[in-house]
Structure 1
C-alpha cells in the first residue's frame, strides 16, 4: 500500500493481450464460520461469477494508483475479467505519485472534464470526492445488480467508503491489522505470550502495557538493551482506534464537532503518551539509535503489522532471524476495535461509458479478483465468504494465524471524515508532536486542538 514513486506524471503503457489491449497508467473458528457462511453459494473464484445481465460491449476508463499489489496482479486480473465480463475492456491509467498528489490529480481530472468510469479510492479521498458529488452512490447500483450485495462485505470495511449514509466504494484490498511479536524474545525473558493472555481473556490494555514494560530493559547504548514495541503511526486516522477501544471518539456522532477533549479521550492520549514518555517502552526518536534495524534487530517485542508487510515478496518480516508470533490488538474497555488500511474502487458520477465503472468495480471486489490477489499473500478476504477460497489459507506463513487476521476485519471500524478532515488531521499531527515535546499538559493541548478543529468544522455548516 505504500507505493510512492518520485515522478508525478501519469504513466501509460500498452500491453498486447491477444485481442485485448490494456492501457496501464479470541476468535477460534472464524475461518470455519466464514466457510459455513459461504456454503450453498457458488464457489468463490470459480467461473460462476457472472457479468451484469444487461451488460453490453463497453470500455471502462479506470483511474488507478500505483499500488504494487494491483500492478503485480494486473495481467492476471485482466485475463480473469475477460472470462467474467468478456464484453468489458479496461483502459487503465495509473498515477505513480503519492496519495496526497493523487487526491489533487483526481480533483483536477474531473474539473478538466477528463472523467473516468471508475476510480481508485483511499479512505482519505472519499469525503472529498463524495462531498463534491464526483462519485455515484453505490447502494442503488448494488440493488439493481442483485449479485453484488453490499451486505456481503465486512461492514467495517465498507464503512470506510460511506459518506452521509451512502456507499461510494467497493473494497478490493484490505490487509487487516494485528501485532507481530518476537516470540523468541518473549520466551527468553519469561514474558507471557499474548496468545496465552488472549485465550485467558486477559489481553487487555493493562496487560498490553505491563507486557511492554516487562520487555523494556537495559540502558541507552547497551548492546543488549531491549524495548517493548516499535513506534507505530499516531496519525489521527490510526490513533482513533485507541480512542474507540476506550469508549472515546474523534468526532461527535453527527461529525459536526471534535470531542477529543472529553475525559475518556484525554485518558487515552495521556496513557499513550505515558508509553512514550513515562515508561519509555516505544522505540521512537530518542531510542532509535540503539535499534537501527527496528523490529528486525531482534531486541524489540512488538510491532504493528498488516498482511502485506508479512508477504515474503515485501522483504520485510521475511528477513526476521527469530521466531515470530501473531497477536490481535488488546481489548479495551468496550472491547476490541481495529482500524484498517482498506482500498476500494468507486464509480464516477458522470462516467462516459454507461455502467462500465460499476462493472469494473464489482469485478475487482468479486471472488475471481480476490483469489488472484490473495494468491500474492498481501491481502485478506473483503467478504467473509471469501475466506473459503483456498488462496486464503495458502497465503498464510507458518507463524501467521488466519483467525487473528479475520477477527481484525470482523472488529474493524471506520472513521467518518468530514470534508475538512485533512486539515484537522494535519492539526492533530502538530498537537501530538507538542504532546511528545511536553509543551503543555495533555488536557491543555487537547482543549486547544479541539477548539481549533471545531472552528474549522463550523465553517462547513
Structure 2
C-alpha cells in the first residue's frame, strides 16, 4: 500500500496559485480501490530520445502483460526539458495530474516537502524480489524525509570532462589522459589547453554544457573544485560571498574574458559538433558521439580543494492526487526492479550497488571502456555531491540568474556582484 500524507499547498513559486496543489486534491485520489477495470497510467518525462522511449515501452508492456486486470496501458508523455517543471505544476494546478512524473534534483526538496508525492517506502520494501537494500543509501537523501521515500532516484549521472583528442593533438597540447595519470589533471591545466587550442584552431575551448550564462547551477561542476557552494548545508545562508566561491567565480570570469578559454555570452558552441576542445557534461551524453572525431572522457579536473565528484540526479515520483497512486507505485516497483534497472543503466546510471561496477555498466555502454566507466561513473558516483537544490529553488534560480547577469561582462567586479547575489538571495533562503 502507498502511505498518504495530507497535501500541502507548497511548491511556492512553482505553483500557478498559492492553492494549486490543494486545488487538485478534489481529483480522483484514492480511486484505486474503486476501479471497475484496468486503468491507463501516465508518466511525464523530459526525454524525447526514441531509443529511451522504446525501452520504457518495452518495460511497461511487460507490466501490462503481467497485470492485465489492473493496467491496460502505460503512456510516457514527453514534456520539453526547458519547460518541464512549469508544465508539470500547471498540470497539477489544473487537475490534469499524471500518475507518475520525473523530477529534477534541483526541485526535489520542493516536491518532497510539499505533500505532492506519495510515500513509496511500503511498496518498494514490500515488493518481492525488489531488493530495496541494494540501493545506495546516499542516493536517497534528496528524496527522503521523516523516514519516507517520495521519489526513486532512477538516474545518477556523474558529470565528466569530454575531450576532443583531435583538436588537442592538432594544437600541440598535452593529452588530458596523461595529465590525469600523472596527477596533473587540474582546472588550470584544462583552462590552458582550452585557451591554446581555441587560439590555434578557432572554435571554442572549454564549454560547461547547458550553462549558457543562464543555468548558473551547472557551474557547480567547476566551483566544487574550490570547495564552494551557493548556500549553507541547511539552506538558510547565502555563501556566494565566501572566499572559496569568490575565488572560483573569479577563475571562471578570467578564463572567459582574459584567457579566452571559455566562450563568452552569445557564442554557440557544441562539443559534439567537433569544434569545441572539451566540455563538462553528464556521462549519458556519450550517446551523442558519432565517431566524426577521436575523443576521450575523464573525471572532472581538480581544483584547489582537489577533485570533487558531482552528479545530476533525477527521480520518479508517484503523484499523491493522481487517479491511481497505488497501482502507479506498483508499476514503479516493476519499472525499477533489479532486472529493469539493469536495462535502464544503458542510459541512466542506477543507484543499485550491485549494478555499479564497470563490467555490468560496460554491457550497457559499449562506447565506454571499462577503465572509463570505473574512473568516471563508478568512482564518480562515490561520495558525490548533487547539483544545488533547495525547497525554494525556483525563486532562487531566477533571482540569482538575474543578479549574475552583471558578472558576465569583461569589466565586472566579481566580489561586488556576488555581494549583490547574496543580498537578493538571502530573503528567499529564509522563506
* Fold similarity call, TM over 0.5: yes
- The yes-or-no answer on 1:64 pairing with 2:44 is yes
Give the SS at the match of 1:283.
coil
Q: Which range moved further: 174-183 or 445-454?
A: 174-183
Alignment of 1:92-171 (within 5 A): 92-99=74-81, 101-113=83-95, 115-139=97-121, 141-145=123-127, 148=130, 152-155=134-137, 157-162=139-144, 167-171=149-153
- TM-fit CA distance, 1:180: 1.4
Give the SS at the match of 1:282.
coil
Structure 2: distance between partners of 1:357 and 1:251:
35
Number of positions where the alignment pairs a residue of Structure 1 with one of Structure 2: 387
Select which of 366, 376, 384 maps to 1:396: 366
Structure 1: distance between partners of 2:302 and 2:132:
28
CA distance 1:84–1:174, change in 2 (3 Å): farther
- The yes-or-no answer on 1:200 pairing with 2:182 is yes
- TM-fit CA distance, 1:91: 4.3
- TM-fit CA distance, 1:270: 0.6
CA distance 1:354–1:440, change in 2 (3 Å): closer
- The yes-or-no answer on 1:230 pairing with 2:201 is no
CA distance 1:329–1:84, change in 2 (3 Å): farther
Select which of 339, 347, 354 maps to 1:378: 347
CA distance 1:361–1:245, change in 2 (3 Å): farther
Give the SS at the match of 2:199.
coil
CA distance 1:167–1:332, change in 2 (3 Å): farther
- Taking only aligned residues, the RMSD between alpha carbons, in angstroms, comes to 3.3
2:285 matched residue in structure 1:
309
Structure 1 contact 246–268 (Cα < 8 Å) conserved: yes
- The yes-or-no answer on 1:322 pairing with 2:293 is yes
Structure 2: distance between partners of 1:100 and 1:182:
27
Offset from partner CA, 1:252-298 (integer Å, 9 cap, x none)? 1211122111111111111111111111111344765xx7xx43564
CA distance 1:270–1:66, change in 2 (3 Å): closer
2:379 matched residue in structure 1:
407
CA distance 1:149–1:249, change in 2 (3 Å): farther
Select which of 196, 216, 240 maps to 2:220: 240
Structure 1: distance between partners of 2:273 and 2:89:
43
CA distance 1:150–1:398, change in 2 (3 Å): closer
Select which of 224, 232, 236 maps to 1:256: 236
1:76 matched residue in structure 2:
58
Offset from partner CA, 1:398-452 (integer Å, 9 cap, x none)? 6782222322322432245333211211222223331112464111000011111
Give the SS at the match of 1:340.
strand
1:453 matched residue in structure 2:
425
CA distance 1:214–1:384, change in 2 (3 Å): farther
1:212 matched residue in structure 2:
194
Structure 2 contact 41–99 (Cα < 8 Å) conserved: yes
Q: Which runs of 5+ in 2 are unaligned?
A: 1-36
Structure 2: distance between partners of 1:87 and 1:200:
60
1:340 matched residue in structure 2:
311
Structure 2 contact 312–386 (Cα < 8 Å) conserved: no
Give the SS at the match of 2:167.
helix
Q: Which runs of 5+ in 1 are unaligned?
A: 1-56, 219-223
- The yes-or-no answer on 1:271 pairing with 2:251 is yes
Select which of 166, 172, 176 maps to 1:184: 166
CA distance 1:418–1:341, change in 2 (3 Å): closer
- TM-fit CA distance, 1:125: 3.7
Q: Which range moved further: 171-180 or 387-396?
A: 387-396
- The yes-or-no answer on 1:433 pairing with 2:413 is no
CA distance 1:409–1:436, change in 2 (3 Å): same
CA distance 1:307–1:348, change in 2 (3 Å): same
CA distance 1:130–1:227, change in 2 (3 Å): closer
TM-score, normalising length from structure 2? Answer: 0.77
- TM-fit CA distance, 1:178: 1.6
Give the SS at the match of 2:386.
coil
Structure 2: distance between partners of 1:71 and 1:148:
23
- TM-fit CA distance, 1:217: 2.4
- The yes-or-no answer on 1:359 pairing with 2:330 is yes
Structure 1: distance between partners of 2:418 and 2:172:
38
